[in-house]
Amino acid sequence: MKHLLYCSLLLLLTACTSVKQMTLLQGSTDQTQQPVYPEVVIESGDELHIAIQALSQEAAAPFNTATNVYVVDSNGQIELPNLGIFSMQGLTLNQVQETIAAKLQENLQKVFVTVSFHNASIVILGEVNNPQRLGVTKPISIFEAIGAVNGLTTNARINAVEVLRNQNGQVTKYRLDLSSSDVFQSPCYYLVKGDVVNVRPLHAVSSNK
């Protein structure tokens, strides 16, 4: 059943692509380990959307702004109204939520804090039906990204999809084979902010008329 669900999803994402060329996830996925969800860290320049709720919304109002969007400054910090300065550099979204919630519990009851990226995006180029920059608030899987750009073209090379990832100022190139269940174990199965995906062509397109 698990295998059939995966195949159904992938066939939906690649409905515009030749079945012969698009044999995705060959073999059983029953023994495949679950992909590891990445914990993306916050960096200077990131925009964060931070919303604070509590049992009493009136009591929570002084801790929110009109947009609830904050830019992490060059020191890796943000300033929240009536709470002060918080260091964001190197923390995950979950860690920020826990830190802010712990501070709020000094004044509020039943606090609920949500933190997400506001300006984050990934870029998908090459043999997809709608190449574009996708806004993301959290990591998404490669198949979710393909679905968001209306699937692959009939000229997509599914066993050599490239992902460029900037890690600490150094760009690393990864290759994904979408025809193999090994893709679930790739560090790029989940795409994170700043990733660039390039779906290479199966056949070069000649510019000669």
pLDDT per residue over 14-36, tens digit each?
444 443 344 555 554 555 568 88
Q: What is the pLDDT of residue 107?
A: 81
Q: What is the pLDDT of residue 4?
A: 41
Q: Give the C-alpha separation, 149 to 43, whole Å.
A: 27
- The sign of the CA dihedral 198, 204, 205, 209 is positive
Q: What is the pLDDT of residue 132?
A: 96
Q: Give the C-alpha separation, 33 to 186, whole Å.
A: 11
Encoded tokens for 110 = 């039943």
**Which superfamily, per CATH, for 47-117?**
wza like domain (3.30.1950.10)
The domain locations on the chain are 16-27+120-201, 47-117
Q: What is the pLDDT of residue 32?
A: 55
Q: What is the pLDDT of residue 28?
A: 47
Show Cβ contacts of residue 21 under 8 Å, excluding neighbours closer than 6 positions.
154, 156, 158, 202
Q: What is the DSSP letter of 27?
A: S
CB atoms within 10 A of CB 176: 20
Q: What is the pLDDT of residue 208?
A: 57
Q: What is the pLDDT of residue 157?
A: 95
Q: Give the C-alpha separation, 104 to 93, whole Å.
A: 17
Q: What angle do CA 25, 27, 30 make, to 5 degrees?
A: 95
Residues forming a β-bridge with 47: 71
List Cα–Cα distances, 1 to 8, 14, 28, 38, in angstroms: 10, 20, 11, 26
Q: Which of 40, 13, 43, 41 is nearest to 25 (CA)?
A: 13
Q: What is the pLDDT of residue 9?
A: 52
Low-confidence stretches of the chain (pLDDT beneath 70): 1-33, 205-209
Backbone angles phi, psi at 62, to 5 degrees: -65, -15
Contact 117, 164 (CB under 8 A): no
Q: What is the pLDDT of residue 167?
A: 81
pLDDT in tens, 1-15: 444 445 445 544 444
Encoded tokens for 209 = 């008329």
Alpha carbon 3 to its chain's center? 24
Encoded tokens for 161 = 């999809």
What is the SS3 assignment for 200?
A: strand
Q: What is the pLDDT of residue 25?
A: 55
Q: Give the C-alpha separation, 119 to 136, whole Å.
A: 8
Q: What is the pLDDT of residue 168?
A: 75
Task: Report the CATH number of the 16-27+120-201 domain.
Answer: 3.10.560.10
